[in-house]
Chains A and B, each alone.
Chain A
């Protein structure tokens, strides 16, 4: 796979040591919150200075850190996202969500926190995590709403779907052995709005990010030469998985569409039976009864459609985004390797500056080893999580479908029962 140029998520070589203080506010055009492009997915791992404090710099210890253990029973942090509220200022209108944290971890100053965050803040957090860990897999955020205008963003259903997705996002971060100890994550959960804003302004500035992107593009064009087999297999898997999950998403959306059209027609049946009952005498009662049954089945069908839209589709959609994340992660790893390969070659061919070049090469080697191990471990982890998520989403869907049919069954059985009691009273009908 050749490096694609249209990609924000490419890595780069060194970041410049002297980082200009923040110019982002002046240069980037931040109009709508969810149009904010997180420009760099900087992969600087050379010096620890631009980093979260909890990261250590020795490669060996870093590698050790990536030996994850599943510690499901010792969950010591609980995060919820709820309570969307609309904020109106002179410039813009936006939604904030309440983020509540309960934890027993010692790094936290207290055991409970409550803050308000907007979508932009989540985007920032995601960006930071990706910068710090280019070959770890960050769970996707719900998408920005691109298509329709202002009004749609504040639609109740949209907000609720987004809220659920943001909740899932934070929980995935909290459950991740590395991400959950990220300083940025902690600040996200605990800092007051002003604090968060000033913290956000730290970190590599816009210009350096630009520079890194250029370098990253160059690396991507170079391409990787000796990709280890396991990563090629991973890539093949991701390609295939991506196709399948996209298909599932499409199939499910099609089902929802067909169900809605079915519902439209079914809604006319009940009233027709009711109309008929008005011309009849003996038949009036059973006809009215049937009309009622059809109407009740309509309600159940409506709910079933909503369930699909609210529960299954968002999860499938997240995994479509996940597939893209995985592709990006693999690309970044490739770029790190390409960089190492380029430096190796340079050392072999060039005569000047051999000492600095050897230094650079060593660091590039370390970075590569680190990146590979990180990816391998997180890959295993991700597969388990994916399996759990999709399994429970489908089990849940199946359960809801069973429930839907059970409710409709009850409706029609009650109709039969009423007719049976009538018939036995009149001594007429044979049910054989």
Chain B
């Protein structure tokens, strides 16, 4: 359903349509398998690999239905791909991966990465990730992404060869910028704040939901005890026996029905989790904006101070405190030749500085423009997806109620035959 959905969303943007990889190629993460092998420190480890299948869209419509191309990838390779995309497209809200470790679990789900339910949900999440990237107007045409889907061997080397790791911003640098930036774009500041709120509220919702799921499980399962006791009781009764026995079966059915109910709810939780992680991606874009803005401000500040120095040197007045100024006062003035040399150097620096400011300014503007386009796109996607999620949650509740009505009506019939 997701694939068709994303393809259909592409119809709103006819020029983009041709660019979308998803229009040309069917992508799926079909299977998951356990492997064992030696890791980097030569120790045995067990890990899961996922089968990525691709097939040109036209092939299926021609009716020939050829075997899809496929290759296996581990979660860590998906992580590598995403990190590459993050660094290469810092102005885009990059789709998130499914969680690394199971969080917000309720008691039945194990937090074990090898648990088959977890692996299955991760498979679905990875497929979702690929589809999201493939339907993104900018990301879908990335070559590294394409080769991730098509080149089994040597892909890792190709990624490292791009040197993307060198381009990555250090955390410290980013943090520094966040604190010191003076005039970030208001819209980005608001978006960042929104990202914080979204993350906080979805986390809370996931926690509460998990606890409620745990309790609901208990309620349903205790009804199974009715089944057992009714059955035992029916053995000592004559006329009441049949009614009790059959009512007991319905109580067992009721108790068993909660497993399916909660499994469906996990899908809903996964949809929320995707946006929990998207909030992080959104904030990353805002942080990048702060960084570019900060660097622009630093460059501008530097330029201003250099210009001031030039002025001081030229007029001989010292307006700002400088060590040079103090020492020259103490140890005597420089020679005219020294001053000339300094001035010349400053002039060069100022020229370079002006270039830098122009460059950074352009960068900043470019960033703001592209980022804002993607943020708007993201907003629309988020509103649509989350509304769908809420609707599917309502549909789940309705289904649960219908099951309940059926079971208890059946039980009532049996009871009235007691």
Which A residues lie at the B interface, using CB under 8 A? 237, 240-241, 244, 247-248, 251, 254-255, 258-259, 261-262, 264-266, 268-269, 272-273, 275-276, 279-283, 286-287, 290, 293, 297, 387, 390-391, 394-395, 398-399, 401-402, 404-406, 408-409, 412-413, 415-416, 419, 428-432
Task: Say how far A326's CB is from chain B's closest CB, in angstroms.
Answer: 13
Q: Is the CB of A286 within 8 A of B398?
A: no
Q: Is the CB of A254 within 8 A of B205?
A: no
* Chain A residue at minimal CB-CB distance from B413: A398
Instruction: Report the separation of the CA atoms of residues A293 and B397 in the bound assembly, to the nearest whole angstrom.
Output: 11
Q: Is the CB of B398 within 8 A of A416?
A: yes
Q: Is the CB of B222 within 8 A of A254?
A: yes
Q: Is the CB of A395 within 8 A of B229?
A: no
Which B residues lie at the A interface, using CB under 8 A? 1, 5, 194, 197-198, 201-202, 204-205, 208-209, 211-212, 214-216, 218-219, 222-223, 225-226, 229, 232-233, 236, 239-240, 243, 247, 382-384, 386-388, 390-391, 393-395, 397-398, 401-402, 404-405, 408-409, 411-412, 415-416, 418
Q: Given A416-B395, A416-B398, A429-B391, are A269 and B208 also a contact pair (CB < 8 Å)? A: yes
Task: Say how far A8's CB is from chain B's closest CB, in angstroms.
Answer: 28
The contact sample of 7 A-B pairs, CB cut-off 8 A, is A268-B208, A387-B239, A387-B240, A398-B415, A402-B404, A409-B398, A416-B398
What residues of chain A lie closer than 8 Å to B247, measured between beta carbons? 394
* Chain A residue at minimal CB-CB distance from B247: A394
Instruction: Report the separation of the CA atoms of residues A228 and B239 in the bound assembly, to the nearest whole angstrom.
Output: 24
What residues of chain B lie closer than 8 Å to A280, measured between beta carbons? 383
Q: Is the CB of B205 within 8 A of A247?
A: no
Q: Is the CB of A290 within 8 A of B390?
A: yes
What residues of chain B lie closer than 8 Å to A254, measured between beta carbons? 222, 225
Q: Is the CB of B229 within 8 A of A290?
A: no
Q: Is the CB of B229 within 8 A of A248?
A: yes
Q: Is the CB of B236 within 8 A of A237?
A: yes
Question: Lowest 7 CB-CB distances: which A-B pairs, in order?
Answer: A398-B412, A262-B215, A405-B404, A409-B401, A265-B212, A244-B233, A282-B383
Q: Is the CB of A244 within 8 A of B229?
A: yes
Q: Is the CB of B418 within 8 A of A390?
A: yes
Q: Given A279-B197, A394-B415, are A405 and B240 also a contact pair (CB < 8 Å)? A: no
Q: Given A398-B408, A415-B394, are A272 and B204 also a contact pair (CB < 8 Å)? A: yes
CB-contact partner of A266 in B1, B212, B395, under 8 A:
B212
Q: Is the CB of A261 within 8 A of B215?
A: yes
Q: Given A265-B208, A290-B393, are A387 and B218 also a contact pair (CB < 8 Å)? A: no
* Chain B residue at minimal CB-CB distance from A290: B390
What residues of chain A lie closer than 8 Å to B390, measured between beta carbons? 286-287, 290, 419
What residues of chain B lie closer than 8 Å to A432, measured between beta carbons? 1
Instruction: Report the separation of the CA atoms of residues A394 and B416 in the bound assembly, to the nearest whole angstrom.
Output: 8
CB-contact partner of B236 in A240, A275, A279, A290, under 8 A:
A240
A244-B236, A265-B215, A391-B416 known, 16 other contacts, Cβ within 8 Å = A244-B229, A251-B222, A261-B215, A262-B215, A262-B219, A282-B387, A283-B383, A297-B397, A387-B239, A387-B240, A391-B240, A405-B402, A406-B405, A409-B405, A415-B394, A419-B390
Q: Is the CB of A255 within 8 A of B391?
A: no
Q: Given A279-B194, A405-B404, are A272 and B208 also a contact pair (CB < 8 Å)? A: yes
Q: Is the CB of B212 within 8 A of A262?
A: yes
Instruction: Report the separation of the CA atoms of residues A391 and B225 in the bound assembly, to the nearest whole angstrom.
Output: 18
CB-contact partner of A276 in B201, B211, B388, under 8 A:
B201
Q: Is the CB of A251 within 8 A of B240?
A: no
CB-contact partner of A412 in B204, B208, B225, B397, under 8 A:
B397
* Chain B residue at minimal CB-CB distance from A391: B418
Q: Is the CB of A405 within 8 A of B415?
A: no
Q: Given A244-B236, A398-B411, A419-B387, are A269 and B205 also a contact pair (CB < 8 Å)? A: yes
What residues of chain B lie closer than 8 Å to A419, measured between beta carbons? 387, 390-391, 394
What residues of chain B lie closer than 8 Å to A259, measured between beta carbons? 219
Task: Say how far B219's CB is from chain A's closest CB, in angstroms.
Answer: 4
Q: Is the CB of B215 within 8 A of A258?
A: yes
Instruction: Report the separation of the CA atoms of residues A333 and B124 in the bound assembly, to the nearest whole angstrom.
Output: 71
Instruction: Report the separation of the CA atoms of residues A281 and B191 in the bound assembly, to the nearest whole angstrom.
Output: 13
What residues of chain B lie closer than 8 Å to A279, measured between beta carbons? 194, 197-198, 201
Choose among B223, B233, B243 the residue with the greatest number of A CB atoms under 10 Å from its CB: B233
Choose among B205, B215, B394 the residue with the greatest number of A CB atoms under 10 Å from its CB: B394
Task: Say how far A385's CB is from chain B's closest CB, in angstroms.
Answer: 13
Task: Say how far A66's CB is from chain B's closest CB, in angstroms.
Answer: 22
Q: Is the CB of B208 within 8 A of A251?
A: no
Q: Is the CB of A293 within 8 A of B394?
A: yes
What residues of chain B lie closer than 8 Å to A416, measured between beta carbons? 391, 394-395, 398
* Chain A residue at minimal CB-CB distance from B411: A398
Q: Is the CB of A412 within 8 A of B401?
A: yes
Q: Is the CB of B236 within 8 A of A241?
A: yes
What residues of chain B lie closer than 8 Å to A273, measured between beta carbons? 205
What residues of chain A lie closer than 8 Å to B384, measured between beta carbons? 428
What residues of chain A lie closer than 8 Å to B415, measured between beta carbons? 391, 394-395, 398
CB-contact partner of B405 in A265, A405, A415, A430, under 8 A:
A405
CB-contact partner of B394 in A251, A266, A290, A406, under 8 A:
A290
What residues of chain B lie closer than 8 Å to A429, measured between beta carbons? 387-388, 391
Q: Is the CB of A402 within 8 A of B409?
A: yes
Task: Say how far A203's CB is from chain B's closest CB, in angstroms.
Answer: 38
What residues of chain B lie closer than 8 Å to A255, measured between beta carbons? 219, 222-223
